[in-house]
Chain A
Amino acid sequence: MDQAYGIFLYALSLLTMGGIYAVLTLGLNIQWGFTGLFNAGIAGFFAVGGYVAAILTTPPAAAHLGGFGLPVPVAAIAAMLISAALGWTVAKTCIRLRADYLAIATLGIAEIFRLILKNELWATNGARGIALVPKPFEGLPEPWNQIAMAALLLLIVFALYLALERARLSPWGRVMTAIRENEDSARAAGKHVEAFRVQAFVLGSALMGLGGALMAHYLKFVDPNLSDPLTATFLVWVMLIVGGSGNNKGAILGAMLMWTVWSATEILTSQLPPDWAVRSAYIRIFLIGLVLQIVLQRYAGGILPERREPPPPLARKPAE
């Protein structure tokens, strides 16, 4: 019975973390899947979102900026807005760069964010991070708080999915696909390519900020490791590519699946003798890299490849 209960709680944590990653992969899917923008700085926007939420909701502390005591939803919206504003600044300056130049530039910008989080002690408490971030449903009794948190995440992911599916099938979404597939012809069709790209980048950055805020509230703690490029940038990329970029369902599936693999391998390797457990932690990362290579070479579209629906028939007025 105890074991079954433990597994149940573990499944809830998988759903919650998978849900947070699904918010990130959906954000990346807008940028990369829809529009073809290679953002290698996910970790930067994610960490900024987390820190904004932490600073706005924690009780006053001498070590860092804080004491605003705002409710969690307000802080989450603020995290999205500030990430979006940063995304706008980055997009305005870098959006014309070709794919791998954009990747290098965004990776560099994320590292600058990381340096700021580490060095601006008055606001972020540096490497020691910000603790006592409130967690939603903390007042509920033991299993129910976890159930409520997982349910909240699933609800957020579902709402985002509905909204993004709508966006993808709308004329706006079709312009995005057109830009990704053939920028010149989209421009020739009179679309303002740069403006659309900026919109996609900003929207994606906002979701990454939301993901960071959710992570901060779930872990009740933020520190500069939040902006670790390995777990925040590369893992999200692998999730999207494995799930199927350009497909919102694929993005969610990839996040849930890869998070389960990532987390389950941690449990497996922690069963090994201590000497091996430390080393085998690296086997996990090796395997993640290998999965990415296999998917790129054999299943370039991911598990759920992008689907192209024909545009809806035009509603014509009956001829009079």
Chain B
Amino acid sequence: MEFLSFHLIPGIVLGSIYAIGAIGVSLTFGILRFANFAHGATITLGAYLTLTLVWGTGLHPLIVLPVAMAATGLIAIGMDRVFYKPLRASDTVILVMASFGLMLMLRSAIQLIWGVQIEAMIPGIQRPFVLFESLRISPRHVLIVGSAVVLMIGVHWLLSYTKTGKAMRAMSDSPELARVTGIDTEAVIRATWFVGAGLAAAAGTFLAIDTHVETQMGFKILLPVFAAAILGGIGRPYGAMAGGLVIGIAEELSTYAWFGTAPLVPPGYKAGVAFAIMVAMLIWRPSGLFRGRVF
């Protein structure tokens, strides 16, 4: 029961957060063909926008989340217009550098506007549900996983049944072919930023509900999110979801006392589990578990 309450369930929660964050990385990587280092800062921005809306309206974060997602999406489209569009024809490395710079700018803008103190998204302590006398589940965990599943179904619907989603998949498979078929590539790029950044805002809000809001939160989960996207295969949103769950669960299970009484991995190294999985994947199977593309 201790295993379920303190390792597996937190792992699933963390995994859902990573999964939602990783879909955005995977989409931008697949369609714009560069690793977006500013994604972590976008995650932080989304969490702060939700927090501001919660302060302004007094509603539950999950109720105002759609507004925060749309706002983050629009900001991302604006940032694309100013910082990435002029570099569209450049080498991918230049785009990665630009995303580096944007990461610094976004983070310092957030620190300037909201300050660096730690904020709570939902004040107070919540009493966990107790099932079967000892299995404890926190209501906020149920909400996070539930909302993440709703978003994943939404992404599936978008990619499978809408024209925009199909165009996004086409561009991810072959940009030249997509252009020849008459797809408006700039419109698809805008849609990609909107969806990716909106999901980043959701990931940030979920993380803030699980823990708290602070200006480094997005940077801290940037590498696990990259790890999830790479594990799932770049340009494979479904792979990113699975990759996120695997990374999150692996991180939490790594501190369980599998052999004897000591944790398998000392808690101080928990964050290293995701990096280690990622580096190993990059070396031995860069196409990911689900045969994504290696550009």
Contacts and interface: CB of A to CB of B under 8 A. Distances in A.
A94 interface: yes
Contacts of B125: none
Interface of A: 36, 38, 93-94, 97-101, 103-105, 107-109, 111-112, 115, 118-119, 230, 234, 237-238, 241, 279, 282-286, 288-290, 292-293, 296-297, 300
A241 B283 contact: no
16 contacts: A97-B283, A98-B294, A99-B93, A101-B286, A104-B282, A105-B279, A108-B279, A282-B111, A282-B112, A283-B112, A289-B103, A289-B104, A292-B100, A293-B83, A293-B102, A293-B105
Contacts of A97: 282-283, 286
Interface residues of B, number: 42
Interface stretch (B13-21, B158-166, B194-202, B265-273): B265-273
B282 A100 contact: no
Interface centre among B83, B108, B226, B295 (most CB of A within 10 A): B108
Given A99-B92, A104-B282, A289-B108, A115 B83 contact: no
Contacts of B97: 237, 241, 292, 296
B282 A94 contact: yes
Contacts of A293: 83, 98, 101-102, 105
Interface of A, secondary structure class, is helix
Q: Which 5 A-B pairs have the closest CB atoms?
A: A289-B104, A289-B105, A292-B101, A108-B275, A119-B268
A118 B268 contact: yes
Contact of A300 (B94, B102, B107, B282): B94
Interface string B66-102: 0000000000000000010011001011101110111
B127 to A, nearest CB: 34
A279 B223 contact: no
Given A103-B35, A104-B226, A111-B223, A286 B105 contact: yes
Contact of B282 (A101, A111, A230, A282): A101
A119 B265 CA distance: 12
Given A111-B223, A300-B90, 8 more contacts: A38-B93, A100-B96, A104-B230, A105-B283, A286-B109, A290-B105, A292-B97, A293-B101
B278 interface: yes
Given A94-B283, A109-B275, A111-B223, A99 B96 contact: yes
A234 B86 CA distance: 22
Contacts of A282: 108-109, 111-112
Contacts of A108: 223, 226-227, 275-276, 278-279
Contacts of B230: 101, 104
Interface string B9-36: 0000000000000000000000000110
B154 interface: no
A83 B284 CA distance: 24
Contacts of B227: 108
B112 A286 contact: yes
Contacts of B269: 115, 119
B108 A234 contact: no
Nearest to A229: B219
Nearest to A238: B101
